[in-house]
Structure 1
Amino acid sequence: MTNDQRYWSAKKDELVSAIKKLGFPSELGEQIARQLGSPKAMDRMLGYLYNVQPDTPELIVDEMLAICSDIDVWREKKEAEAANARYNEILNYGLGTEED
């Protein structure tokens, strides 16, 4: 197991434990961790769980969906920035097919 895998596993375990402490089944924590997918996203969820202490599973799932949505928006922004940078490069330097 790599360090990244160990870190992901530790965050997943912490998330499952926090959800169990709120009185929800560990399966909910497992699914939330799987959907979030990254330790950074799990940290955001943990912050929510520790500070808000939601009392229904719907609130937990709603926050998970909000975090996933934020991640999707960030990815789309980064893709658009990369495409824009490439477009600007083409405008400034051409396609590179012309001979000088």
Structure 2
Amino acid sequence: MDLEYLRNKIIKLVEEKGHPRELGALVADNLGSENTMIRMIGYLSHSQPQSTEEIADEMLAICEDRDNWRKKKEAEFYQQKYNQYLWEMKK
């Protein structure tokens, strides 16, 4: 999917919920990736956030999940490299 399309969809949904357009733009820009934007669109489509803080909290939670996933994948990559090194040392 096109990131600009997803960005505009988030902005539109935020506006439909009665919040400022600028909030939608900030949220979309901070999410940055297709997967995180799709998650936010899902949240906005199926919930009725009462405040801008609720939207910001969800954005932060999504970003935290993304960062934790990246750290996990990085740790797995280096663990695999280390295991390979140990295996080669045994030979």
What TM-score, normalized to structure 1?
0.86
Give the counterpart of 2:86 among 88, 91, 94.
91
Q: 4+ residue runs of structure 1 moved beyond 4 angstroms?
A: none
Shift of 1:40: 1.2
The answer to whether structure 1 residue 41 and structure 2 residue 36 are counterparts is yes
Where do 1:1-100 residues align within 5 Å? Answer: 7-94=2-89
Question: Which structure 1 segments of 5+ residues have no match?
Answer: 95-100
Alignment length, in residue pairs?
89
For the pair shown, the structure with the greater C-alpha radius of gyration is 1
TM-score between the two structures when normalised by the length of structure 2? 0.94
Residue segments in structure 2 that go unaligned for 5+ positions in a row: none
RMSD of Structure 2 on Structure 1 (CA): 1.0
**More contact order relative to length (CA 8 Å, sep ≥ 6):** 2
Matches of 1:13 and 1:67, distance apart in 2: 18
Secondary structure of 2:19 counterpart: coil
Residues 6-56 of structure 1 show CA distances to partners (whole Å, capped at 9, x for unaligned) of: x00000000000000011111101100111011211110111111112110
